[in-house]
């Protein structure tokens, strides 16, 4: 039976033995899958130099187990990876997020389109903080962890003017006296992805809490890794 | 029933990179049958190495002394430091004879997904060393992968009063463009030099 070409993005690659690579790719038709690229570290291999994070690939894989074997890669299709060295931390963070949040083997066209759009943006230009926040918000929506921006989670009523709301993960916004809370206007702006007027740090913390709740207590290493070292 | 030592040796040899059962069998038979003196020398050297080899206190290269040969060589440029990922990278650069400075071996590269942090790579030690040894130039020779680039970028972000450079990427010597992958060509065009 002929195998089909699959479009995918490479999320993470690690060495296996001396010459091979195990990679996690996000395919359009099968979702996140693990693939074994035998001999890919050998410069004469047809896979050599292609298995880089953020590369859009066209591949053929075989196998019935969870770990598929990479048999073909369309070398004419391989796109440039990220521009580097700028913003590499952001890219590594996004891929860690995808690795941790995506279920294995579950296709999701909406998510594929979202990730593709993000990678295209990253290739064309530097990613701003706000671009990243929009991606995080959309990612939560697409994965079914979307934040309720319409009603007070405790009172089940619409957000009121001149009132501040705090965010409780897995529940939503509720009225509070926290001076760092969000106003109804801000909540509406976040819902509409009009993030320009919102305090960057407050927004970042909101997304950190919301994403943290989806990770079942596991921490994202990339957040801590790239903090400035004091010597 | 006691274990046959021959099979134990074959099994032990398979821990070597690139050595499968068949190669291990060939090695074991060669050592035991054809070159017993060599086998004894190998066993003694291996034992001695296991006792004596440690990481250099300065550069983290593997050495039998507390300070490795390169770090204690006063004829080398003490103000130029090349940062590499593994001990084999030092050997690769040394074999070219093109670099006369000193090294720092990270023993890996930053990878959040795999849990390899700046502390695991000794980056705080590296930064302290650069400061205390008054290093004037740092050459970042980490691999040409996203993680290697992120490691170089992370180190660069922590250095301000030192000249920092990254090894260049490009077309291999004797290589023809049509056989080089797209990513390498794109990087080579990006990093082109004026002639």
Query: From the candidates A225, A228, A230, which should be mutated to test the interface with B, based on the most B CB atoms within 10 A?
Result: A225
Sign of the CA dihedral running A110, A115, A119, A122: positive
Residue among B146, B158, B166 whose CB faces A88 most closely: B146
Asked if residues B164 and B127 have their Cβ atoms less than 8 Å apart, the reply is no
CB atoms within 10 A of CB A218: 9
Q: In which band, very low, low, confident or very high, does the pLDDT at A82 lie, cut at 50, 70 and 90?
A: low
Distance (Å, whole) CA A214 – CA A146? 10
Residue among B112, B153, B182 whose CB faces A80 most closely: B182
Distance (Å, whole) CA B94 – CA B74? 16
Q: What is the pLDDT of residues B86-101, one digit of tens each?
A: 999 999 999 999 899 9
* Length in residues, chain A: 231
List, in order, residues 6 or more apart from A168 with CB less than 8 Å away: A153, A174
Residues of chain B contacting A96 with CB distance shorter than 8 Å: 112-113
Closest alpha carbon within chain A to B17? A18
Residue among B110, B152, B186 whose CB faces A80 most closely: B186
Strands B102-105 and B80-84 turn out to be parallel
pLDDT at A38: 94
CATH code matching the domain that covers A128-231, chosen among 3.40.50.20, 1.20.1440.120, 3.90.79.10, 3.90.1150.10:
1.20.1440.120
Supply the mean pLDDT for chain A: 87
Query: Where do the DSSP E strands lie in A77-135?
Result: none
Residues of chain A contacting B20 with CB distance shorter than 8 Å: none
User: Taking CB atoms and an 8 Å limit, are A48 and B181 in contact across chains?
Assistant: yes
Prediction pTM value: 0.82
Distance (Å, whole) CA A103 – CA A116? 18
Q: What is the pLDDT of residues B142-177, one digit of tens each?
A: 998 888 988 999 999 999 889 999 998 888 888 788
DSSP at B179: G
CA A182 to chain centre: 25
Distances (CA, A) of B36 to A147, B30, B40, B93: 71, 9, 6, 35
* CA distance to partner chain A, nearest, from residue B1 (Å): 34
Of residues A179 and A182, more confidence is placed in A182
Q: How far apart are the first and last CA of chain B?
A: 73
CATH code matching the domain that covers B75-194, chosen among 3.90.1150.10, 3.40.47.10, 3.40.1360.10, 3.90.550.10:
3.40.1360.10
DSSP per-residue letters across B165-194: EE----PPTT--GGGS-HHHHHHHHHT---
Q: Indicate if the pLDDT at residue B44 is higher than 60.
A: yes
pLDDT at B85: 96
State the average pLDDT over residues A122-145: 89
Q: Closest Cα to residue B77, out of B56, B59, B100, B93? A: B100
Q: Closest Cα to residue A93, out of B163, B113, B81? A: B113
Residues of chain A contacting B127 with CB distance shorter than 8 Å: 229, 231
Distance (Å, whole) CA A137 – CA A155? 24
Query: From the candidates A226, A228, A230, which should be mutated to test the interface with B, based on the most B CB atoms within 10 A?
Result: A226
CATH topology of domain A6-73: OB fold (Dihydrolipoamide Acetyltransferase, E2P) (2.40.50)
CA A4 to chain centre: 26
Of residues A160 and B85, more confidence is placed in B85
Supply the mean pLDDT for chain B: 91
Q: Residue B62 forms beta bridges with which residues?
A: B55
User: Taking CB atoms and an 8 Å limit, are A225 and B112 in contact across chains?
Assistant: yes
Query: From the candidates A12, A84, A222, which should be mutated to test the interface with B, based on the most B CB atoms within 10 A?
Result: A84
Q: Indicate if the pLDDT at residue B73 is higher than 80.
A: yes
Asked if residues A149 and A191 have their Cβ atoms less than 8 Å apart, the reply is yes
Q: Where are the domains of chain A?
A: 6-73, 128-231
CA B190 to chain centre: 27
Asked if residues A167 and A180 have their Cβ atoms less than 8 Å apart, the reply is no
What percentage of chain B carries pLDDT values higher than 70? 99
Distance (Å, whole) CA B148 – CA A186? 39
Residues of chain B contacting A80 with CB distance shorter than 8 Å: 182-183, 186
Residues of chain B contacting A226 with CB distance shorter than 8 Å: 154
Burial class, A159, CB count within 10 angstroms (exposed 0-12 / middle 13-18 / buried 19+) = buried
User: Taking CB atoms and an 8 Å limit, are A222 and B112 in contact across chains?
Assistant: yes
Distance (Å, whole) CA A106 – CA A117? 19
Closest alpha carbon within chain A to B179? A44
Q: Is the ipTM of this complex over 0.85?
A: no
Of residues A125 and B89, more confidence is placed in B89
Q: Where are the domains of chain B?
A: 5-43, 75-194
């Amino acid at each position: 039976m002929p195998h089909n070409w699959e479009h995918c993005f490479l999320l993470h690659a690690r060495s296996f033995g001396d010459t091979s690579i195990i990679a996690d790719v996000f395919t359009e038709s099968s979702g996140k899958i693990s693939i074994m690229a035998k001999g890919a570290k050998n410069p004469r291999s047809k896979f050599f130099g292609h298995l880089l994070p953020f590369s859009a690939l066209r591949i053929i894989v075989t196998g019935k187990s969870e770990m598929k074997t990479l048999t073909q890669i369309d070398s004419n299709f391989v796109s440039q990876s990220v521009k580097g060295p700028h913003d590499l931390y952001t890219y590594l963070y996004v891929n860690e997020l995808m690795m941790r949040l995506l279920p294995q083997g579950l296709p999701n066209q909406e998510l594929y389109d979202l990730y593709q759009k993000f990678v295209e943006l990253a290739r064309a230009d530097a990613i701003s903080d706000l671009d990243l926040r929009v991606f995080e918000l959309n990612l939560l929506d697409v994965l079914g962890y979307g934040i309720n921006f319409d009603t007070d989670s405790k009172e089940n009523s619409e957000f009121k003017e001149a009132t501040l709301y705090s965010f409780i993960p897995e529940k939503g916004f509720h009225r509070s006296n926290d001076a760092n809370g969000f106003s109804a206007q801000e909540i509406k702006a976040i819902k509409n992805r009009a993030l320009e007027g919102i305090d960057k740090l407050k927004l970042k913390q909101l997304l950190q809490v919301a994403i943290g709740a989806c990770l079942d207590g596991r921490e994202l290493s990339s957040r801590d890794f790239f903090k400035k070292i004091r010597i | 029933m006691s274990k046959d030592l021959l099979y134990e040796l074959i099994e032990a040899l398979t821990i070597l990179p690139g050595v499968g059962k068949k190669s291990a069998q060939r090695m074991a038979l060669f050592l035991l049958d054809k070159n017993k003196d060599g086998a004894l020398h190998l066993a003694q050297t291996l034992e001695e190495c296991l006792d004596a080899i440690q990481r250099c206190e300065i550069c983290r290269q593997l050495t039998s002394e507390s300070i490795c040969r390169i770090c204690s060589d006063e004829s080398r440029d003490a103000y130029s430091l090349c940062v590499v990922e593994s001990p084999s990278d030092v050997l690769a650069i040394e074999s070219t004879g093109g670099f006369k400075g000193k090294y720092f071996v990270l023993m890996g590269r930053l990878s959040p997904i795999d849990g390899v942090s700046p502390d695991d790579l000794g980056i705080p030690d590296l930064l302290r060393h650069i400061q205390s040894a008054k290093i004037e130039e740092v050459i970042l020779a980490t691999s040409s992968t996203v993680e290697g680039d992120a490691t170089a970028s992370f180190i660069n972000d922590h250095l301000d009063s030192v000249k920092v450079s990254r090894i260049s990427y490009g077309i291999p010597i004797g290589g023809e463009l049509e056989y080089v992958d797209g990513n390498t060509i794109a990087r080579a065009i990006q990093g082109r030099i004026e002639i």
